[in-house]
């Protein structure tokens, strides 16, 4: 009896294999499954036969039937995969993107932050420690926010300080020349007191050379409140510069002119290359000019106060500063040409990464 069932099982396997080879679609496969693995299929009919067998033979027969079930289930699953894959390839293959969900995922390429991102993160972290919030603003600006509200009305000679890309001259739509319009936008939006920094791209009709790019990044700072004075500005900037370049650097404030700040200052640090002795990087002066700053001009507050009365210049004071991020990165990492940041030369980027080493600010 047991030989009989073993023989039948063998025959069933041969038949099932032969039949499944010719199956082309899921409907045929379902018929096959019902025939062999379904309720009235081969497996269950063999199982039923066991009950009429002699007790001694039952374990062996049961084992053989289980083996058969495993083989048939394996055949079924293999075929199912084959049909699904051929459906994806034949039916969907003409479409450009095909999701073959059984394929393993593609490994992502390894990548690092760009030097400008790294320096920006480091700079932001220093200001965060001083309680500055982070804000942003549009790259496409209006004449009002980029100039007029910043006390630089039409025909004001100071407009020549920034050679501007206009998108629509008659409507005064332009690419912002600096991040200072964000001062106006944040004051219109938030009541004093507050302090923010803002980072973003700026655009000027400057030809590329070793220290100029027509597109570059600036970081703007703004603090407004009821008793803010020049000492606060000095304190914040000296702390920032010493954190970034080292406690040993000297910081110098010289009088300067910006239409939107009064008094205004141009701030330099002692040369990071020659430590103030004089070299080609600092043009022999021992100083590197690093940012512009000043106390917010009362005319700027008046422009805001027209919309938001809490900015009346007899109640509110504040300071602002702005700096070029590429120039800071060049000094911090001793990079002699701004164009390296934009050429995407993998040799430069790799060398930059190697110079930073493991103990760098990438993880900030
Ligand atoms: C300004 O843009 C003022 N908005 C800064 C400011 C803000 C002053 C708040 C007072 C209060 P300036 O034009 O000097 O200032 O530009 C600031 C910095 O941007 C420069 O010191 C320089 O680092 C950077 N910069 C300017 N033009 C370029 C350029 N073409 N390529 C790279 N960096 C540039």
222 CA closest ligand 1 atom index:
9
* Burial environment of residue 280 by CB neighbours within 10 A (0 to 12, 13 to 18, 19 or more): exposed
Ligand 1 centroid – CA 35 distance (Å) = 80
Q: Is 327 in the pocket of ligand 1 (CB under 6 A)?
A: yes
pLDDT at site 54: 83
Q: Is 293 in the pocket of ligand 1 (CB under 6 A)?
A: yes
Q: Is 324 in the pocket of ligand 1 (CB under 6 A)?
A: yes
pLDDT at site 8: 84
Tokens read off for 229 = 């004075």
Ligand 1 centroid – CA 261 distance (Å) = 14
pLDDT at site 251: 97
- Secondary structure (3-state) at 97: coil
Strand 173-175 and strand 166-168: pairing?
antiparallel
pLDDT at site 75: 94
Q: Is 292 in the pocket of ligand 1 (CB under 6 A)?
A: yes
Q: Is 123 in the pocket of ligand 1 (CB under 6 A)?
A: no
| Residue nearest atom 27 in ligand 1 by C-alpha distance | 212
> Per-residue DSSP letters for 274-320?
TTTS--TTTTTSSEEEEEEEEEEPHHHHHHHHTT-GGG-TTT-EEEE
Ligand 1 centroid – CA 121 distance (Å) = 19
Tokens read off for 275 = 């430590």
pTM above 0.85, yes or no: no
pLDDT at site 102: 74
CA–CA separation, 64 vs 53, rounded Å?
Answer: 14
- Please report, for residues 81, 195, 259, 286, 306, the alpha-carbon distance to residue 228 in angstroms, rounded to integers and kept in the order given: 72, 11, 19, 31, 21
Q: Is 206 in the pocket of ligand 1 (CB under 6 A)?
A: yes
Contacts of 131 (CB under 8 A, 6+ apart): 195
| Residue nearest atom 17 in ligand 1 by C-alpha distance | 323
Q: Give CB contacts under 8 A, 24+ apart, made by 134-137.
A: 134/196, 134/197, 134/198, 134/199, 135/182, 135/186, 135/196, 135/197, 135/198, 136/182, 136/198, 136/199, 136/200, 137/176, 137/179, 137/181, 137/182, 137/185, 137/186, 137/198, 137/200
Q: Under a CB-based contact definition with an 8 Å cutoff, are residues 268 and 289 in contact?
A: yes
289 CA closest ligand 1 atom index:
21
pLDDT at site 107: 73
Beta bridge partners of 295: 319
Q: Is 141 in the pocket of ligand 1 (CB under 6 A)?
A: no
Q: Is 5 in the pocket of ligand 1 (CB under 6 A)?
A: no
pLDDT at site 264: 98
Backbone angles phi, psi at 40, to 5 degrees: -110, 25
Query: What are the per-10-residue average pLDDT scores of the chain (364 residues)?
Result: 74 93 93 92 86 84 89 93 81 62 72 90 96 97 96 84 90 96 97 97 94 96 97 98 96 97 97 89 91 98 95 97 96 92 91 75 44
Ligand 1 centroid – CA 82 distance (Å) = 63
């Amino acid at each position: 009896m047991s030989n009989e069932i073993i023989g039948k099982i063998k025959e069933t396997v041969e038949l099932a294999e032969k039949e499944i080879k010719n199956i082309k679609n899921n409907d045929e496969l379902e018929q096959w499954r019902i025939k062999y693995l379904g309720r009235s299929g081969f497996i269950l009919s063999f199982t039923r036969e066991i009950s009429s067998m002699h007790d001694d033979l039952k374990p062996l027969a049961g084992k053989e039937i289980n083996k058969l079930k495993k083989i048939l289930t394996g055949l079924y699953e293999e075929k199912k995969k084959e049909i699904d894959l051929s459906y994806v390839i034949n039916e969907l293959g003409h479409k450009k993107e095909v999701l073959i969900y059984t394929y393993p995922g593609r490994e992502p390429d390894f990548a690092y932050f760009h030097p400008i991102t790294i320096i920006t993160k480091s700079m932001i972290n220093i200001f965060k420690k001083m309680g500055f919030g982070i804000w942003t603003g549009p790259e496409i600006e209006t004449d009002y926010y980029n100039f007029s509200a910043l006390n630089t009305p039409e025909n004001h000679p100071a407009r020549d300080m920034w050679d501007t890309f206009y998108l629509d001259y008659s409507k005064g739509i332009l690419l912002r020349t600096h991040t200072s319009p964000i001062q106006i936008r944040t004051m219109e939006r938030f009541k004093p007191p507050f302090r923010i920094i803002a980072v973003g791209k700026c655009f000027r009709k400057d030809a590329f050379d070793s220290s100029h790019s027509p597109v570059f990044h600036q970081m703007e700072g703004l603090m407004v409140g009821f008793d803010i004075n020049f000492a606060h500005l000095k304190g914040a900037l000296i702390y920032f510069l010493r954190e970034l370049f080292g406690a040993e650097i000297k910081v110098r404030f010289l009088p300067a002119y910006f239409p939107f700040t009064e008094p205004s200052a141009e701030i330099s640090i002692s040369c990071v290359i020659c430590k103030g002795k004089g070299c080609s990087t600092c043009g022999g002066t021992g100083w590197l000019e690093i940012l512009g700053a000043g106390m917010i001009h009362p005319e700027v507050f008046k422009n805001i106060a027209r919309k938001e009365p809490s900015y009346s210049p007899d109640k509110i004071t504040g300071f602002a500063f702005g700096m070029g991020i590429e120039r800071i990165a060049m000094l911090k990492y001793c990079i002699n040409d701004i164009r390296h940041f934009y050429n995407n030369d993998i040799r430069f980027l790799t060398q930059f990464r190697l110079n930073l080493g493991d103990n760098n600010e990438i993880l900030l």
